[in-house]
A and B are shown apart, each in its own frame.
Chain A
Amino acid sequence: DAGITQSPRHKVTETGTPVTLRCHQTENHRYMYWYRQDPGHGLRLIHYSYGVKDTDKGEVSDGYSVSRSKTEDFLLTLESATSSQTSVYFCAILQTGAVSGELFFGEGSRLTVL
């Protein structure tokens, strides 16, 4: 168990409001990722981090920002939520020493933007 906790697990918000999702890990792994899952699109990478204050964009980064001020926390922020950002968001880590591609996922955060 890689010890990933996502919060909140469920959130309903209104268009235009800011939203922050948190991913917390307990084992100091270097790589952390945020994906969104939508029917017909699978899992798409939003942003990822390869260390404290080191982040990069994924394929669907528009409208999202991230921050990693501590090894254990990776925050995903929607500055002004839109209905198109209604989705299930998954945080994942690459465990230290694991082979590239062997990600461990959190339980997901279901976000509904009205």
Chain B
Amino acid sequence: QQQVKQSPQSLIVQKGGISIINCAYENTAFDYFPWYQQFPGKGPALLIAIRPDVSEKKEGRFTISFNKSAKQFSLHIMDSQPGDSATYFCAAAGRSGGGYQKVTFGTGTKLQVIP
């Protein structure tokens, strides 16, 4: 059972364009929503994150939009650059039934930015 659904699976964007990746979650107990960026041969690295009491967060060219009622959130990459080419994972974090911190990931989106 995939608790965090991510789309699209892959994305090709022209340099300077906007990249948009969408995620949806099911468990309302999640209380933190990070995005991770992964380059080939490396581990994922935290990119940007948002709490559910905020509808938008922007850091440089990266923006998270959050819709709590729809249980959806998305990553927007403005002015996409070839260096942004990577795999992006959305995630949802919260406490497990036992009270311990757990993070559930989406299936990933492979972004390619072409010149």
Contacts and interface: CB of A to CB of B under 8 A. Distances in A.
Interface of A: 31, 33, 35, 40-45, 48, 50, 56, 58-59, 90, 92, 94, 99-108
Given A100-B93, A100-B94, A105-B43, A40 B107 contact: yes
Contact of A42 (B6, B45, B96): B6
Contacts of B46: 102-104
Interface of B: 1, 6, 9, 31-34, 41-46, 49, 89, 91-96, 98, 100-108
Nearest to A58: B102
A43 B32 contact: no
Given A33-B103, A42-B105, A105 B89 contact: no
A108 B40 CA distance: 11
Contact of B43 (A44, A48, A90): A90
B82 to A, nearest CB: 23
B98 to A, nearest CB: 6
A37 B98 CA distance: 25
Given A42-B105, A48-B100, A105 B34 contact: no
Contacts of A31: 100-101
A65 to B, nearest CB: 18
A40 B8 CA distance: 11
Q: Which 5 A-B pairs have the closest CB atoms?
A: A101-B93, A105-B43, A42-B107, A101-B32, A43-B105
A45 B107 contact: no
Nearest to A31: B101
Contacts of B43: 90, 92, 105-108
B100 A50 contact: yes
B96 A101 contact: no
Contacts of A92: 43
Contact of B103 (A45, A50, A107): A45
B38 to A, nearest CB: 9
